[in-house]
Amino acid sequence: MYTIGIIEDEYFAQRVLINLLEKHKQVLKIVHVSNTVQEAKKDIVIHKPDFVFLDIELPGGNGFDVIDCLRTQKSKIIFTTAYEKFAVKAFEASAVDYLLKPILPERLQIAIERIIHQIKTEKEASNYEGLTSNLKANTVQNITIKYKDSYKIIKIADILYFKAEGAYTHIQTLDSSYLQSNKLNFYEGIFQQHSSIIRVHRSWMIHTKHITTFSKSKRSITIANQEIPISKANLKVVFDLLTSS
């Protein structure tokens, strides 16, 4: 669910946008409707919307007067106006999109998809940086994964292996398994500084502490009764790791 604000002084324009957004109520929640610059600044600080629909011409100033407040709260912007002359200035202010009134439903759909994609991308990048940074410092003992409609914390020590499943990755732990909507390369990047979790095959990444058998001739290892192949390129790395420990 993404929270949104509407900054628009014309009642009819407010109602049109609210009605258009009704079909997106499963993923969007309107948290404030502001009529003036001062009201907008107050509402932004209180509600911290993920993004706002911002009219350019407002009582007490214009939409550009609330830009600094939006940046402080890290809210994204979709400008709305009846005047195309403001387009260049809007994008200079880092607007994600620019909608001309009257707003067309199909054009609104594109703007919403664009801004949600940007928010997701930035959030994933932030989470990725946080994970890799902590793992480099050897301070993290858990990771958070998506689980049903929420999230679940699992211990890194409990992870047995990761297996590529097309565009997904199957994570097997000591007591359960989870299918995640990230490719195996994503997890390889996260754990590249973690000495106990290594890539052994294009489709497999393992926690070396759980290896029970190793066959150099068959180029395979066993973890929890699961035979896992080792690629020719990774055989020496696995062999040296196991014989030196």
Antiparallel, parallel or unpaired: β 220-223 and 28-34: unpaired
Q: Identify the domain boundary among 126, 151, 166.
A: 126
pLDDT for 144: 77
pLDDT for 143: 81
Q: Are residue 53 and residue 109 in the same domain, yes or no?
A: yes
Q: Are residue 115 and residue 180 in the same domain, yes or no?
A: no
What CATH number corresponds to the domain at position 228?
Answer: 2.40.50.1020
Q: What is the mean pLDDT of the chain?
A: 85
| Model pLDDT for residues 31-49, shown as the tens digit of each residue | 999 999 999 999 999 999 9
pLDDT for 46: 96
Q: Are residue 190 and residue 227 in the same domain, yes or no?
A: yes
Q: Which amino acid is at 230?
A: I
Question: 134 in a domain, yes or no?
Answer: no
| Model pLDDT for residues 102-130, shown as the tens digit of each residue | 889 998 999 898 888 888 777 666 655 65
What CATH number corresponds to the domain at position 113?
Answer: 3.40.50.2300
> Domain residues for 69?
2-126
Question: 50 in a domain, yes or no?
Answer: yes
CA distance 1 to 147: 16
Q: What is the DSSP string of 181-234?
A: SS-HHHHHHHTTT-TTEEEEETTEEEEGGG--EEETTTTEEEETTEEEE--HHH
Residues of the chain with pLDDT under 50: 139
The conformation of residue 161, written as its DSSP 8-state character, comes to E
Q: Are residue 109 and residue 178 in the same domain, yes or no?
A: no
CA distances from 131 to 39, 101, 106, 143, 193 (A): 38, 43, 38, 8, 11
Q: What angle do CA 36, 32, 84 make, to 5 degrees?
A: 55
Q: Identify the domain boundary among 126, 151, 179.
A: 126
**Number of domains observed in the structure of the chain:** 2
Q: Residue 151: enclosing H or E segment and its boundaries?
A: strand 150-155
Q: Are residue 158 and residue 114 in the same domain, yes or no?
A: no
The conformation of residue 157, written as its DSSP 8-state character, comes to G
pLDDT for 38: 94
pLDDT for 124: 63
